[in-house]
Chain A
Amino acid sequence: MIAELGHFALILALCVAALLGTLPLLGAHYHRREWVVLARPAAQVFFLLVAASFVALAWSFYVNDFSVTYVAEHSNSLLPTMYRLAAVWGGHEGSLLLWIFMLAGWTVAVAQLSHTLDETMVARVLGVLGLVATGLLLFVLLTSNPFGRMLPAAENGRDLNPLLQDPGLVFHPPMLYMGYVGFSVAFAFAIAALLSGRLDAAWARWSRPWTTTAWIFLTLGIGLGSWWAYYELGWGGWWFWDPVENASFMPWLIGTALIHSLAVTEKRGSFKSWTVLLAIGAFSLSLLGTFLVRSGVLTSVHAFATDPRRGIFILVLLALVIGSSLTLYAWRAPKVALGGSFALLSRETMLLIGNVLLVVAAGSVLLGTLYPLIVDALSLGKISVGPPYFNTVFVPLMAPVLFLMAAAPLARWKHADVKQMARGLWIAAVLAVGAAIAIPLAMGGWTVLTGLGTMLAIWVGTSMGLQIAKRLKSGIPPLSFWGMQLGHLGIAVFVVGVTLVGGFQEEKDVRMEPGDTVLVGGHEFKFMGVTQVQGPNYSAARGQFEVTQGGRRSSTLYPEKRNYVSSSMPMTEAAIDAGLTRDVYVSLGEPLEGQAWAVRVYFKPFVDWIWGGCLLMALGGLCAVSDRRYRLRMRAPAAALQGATT
Chain B
Amino acid sequence: MKAKFLIPLAAFGVLVAFLAVGLTRDPHEIPSPLVSKAAPAFKVPQLVAADKAFSPADLKGQVWMLNVWASWCVACRVEHPLLVELGRSKIVPLIGLDYKDKREDALKTLAQQGNPYDLSAVDTDGRIGIEYGVYGVPETFIIDKNGIIRHKQIGPVTAEALEKTILPLIAKLKNS
Binding site for B on A (CB under 8 A): 273, 277, 280-281, 284, 291, 295-299, 308, 311-312, 315, 318-319, 322-323, 326-327, 329-331, 333-334, 370, 372-374, 376-377, 382, 568, 590
Nearest CB of chain A from residue B54's CB, rounded to whole Å: 22
Which of B5, B9, B16, B31 contacts A382, CB < 8 Å? B31
Flag if A297 contacts B28 (CB, 8 Å): no
The 24 sampled A-B contact pairs (Cβ below 8 Å) are A273-B5, A297-B19, A297-B22, A297-B23, A297-B25, A297-B27, A299-B28, A308-B23, A312-B23, A315-B19, A315-B23, A318-B19, A323-B13, A326-B8, A329-B9, A330-B8, A330-B9, A334-B5, A373-B22, A376-B27, A377-B18, A377-B21, A377-B22, A382-B29
Does B6 belong to the interface (CB within 8 Å)?
Answer: yes
Does B1 belong to the interface (CB within 8 Å)?
Answer: yes
User: Per-residue CB proximity of B2-17 to A under 8 Å, as 1/0?
Assistant: 1001101100110110
Main secondary structure of the interface of B (DSSP, over half): helix
Does B49 belong to the interface (CB within 8 Å)?
Answer: no
**Across-interface contacts of A382 in B (CB, < 8 A):** 27, 29-31
Nearest CB of chain B from residue A271's CB, rounded to whole Å: 15
Flag if B16 contacts A296 (CB, 8 Å): no
Q: Which of B18, B23, B25, B72 counts the most A-chain CB atoms under 10 A from its CB?
A: B23
A593 to chain B: closest residue by CB: B125
Does B111 belong to the interface (CB within 8 Å)?
Answer: no
Which of B2, B16, B27, B28 contacts A315, CB < 8 Å? B16
**Across-interface contacts of A374 in B (CB, < 8 A):** 18, 22
Chain B contributes a number of interface residues (CB within 8 A of A) equal to: 24
Flag if B16 contacts A318 (CB, 8 Å): yes
Does B20 belong to the interface (CB within 8 Å)?
Answer: yes
Known: A296-B27, A334-B2. A373 touches B9 (CB 8 A): no
Flag if B19 contacts A568 (CB, 8 Å): no
Flag if B16 contacts A319 (CB, 8 Å): yes
Binding site for A on B (CB under 8 A): 1-2, 5-6, 8-9, 12-13, 15-16, 18-23, 25, 27-31, 72, 125
Q: Within the assembled complex, what's the spacing in Å between the Cα atoms of A108 and B29?
A: 44
Flag if B23 contacts A311 (CB, 8 Å): yes
Flag if B27 contacts A323 (CB, 8 Å): no
Other A-B pairs, 6, CB within 8 Å; known A323-B12, A377-B21, A377-B25 = A273-B5, A296-B27, A297-B25, A315-B20, A322-B12, A382-B30
A336 to chain B: closest residue by CB: B5
Q: Within the assembled complex, what's the spacing in Å between the Cα atoms of A326 and B1?
A: 13
Nearest CB of chain A from residue B137's CB, rounded to whole Å: 13
Q: Within the assembled complex, what's the spacing in Å between the Cα atoms of A280 and B22?
A: 24
A273 to chain B: closest residue by CB: B5
Q: Within the assembled complex, what's the spacing in Å between the Cα atoms of A374 and B20?
A: 10
Flag if B23 contacts A295 (CB, 8 Å): yes
Q: Which of A277, A333, A376 counts the most B-chain CB atoms under 10 A from its CB?
A: A376
Flag if A326 contacts B9 (CB, 8 Å): yes
Which of B12, B22, B25 contacts A326, CB < 8 Å? B12
B19 to chain A: closest residue by CB: A315
Q: Within the assembled complex, what's the spacing in Å between the Cα atoms of A372 and B30?
A: 12
**Across-interface contacts of A330 in B (CB, < 8 A):** 1, 5-6, 8-9
Which of B9, B16, B21, B23 contacts A327, CB < 8 Å? B9
Flag if A370 contacts B23 (CB, 8 Å): no
Nearest CB of chain A from residue B9's CB, rounded to whole Å: 4
A327 to chain B: closest residue by CB: B9
**Across-interface contacts of B18 in A (CB, < 8 A):** 370, 373-374, 377
Nearest CB of chain B from residue A281's CB, rounded to whole Å: 8
**Across-interface contacts of B20 in A (CB, < 8 A):** 315
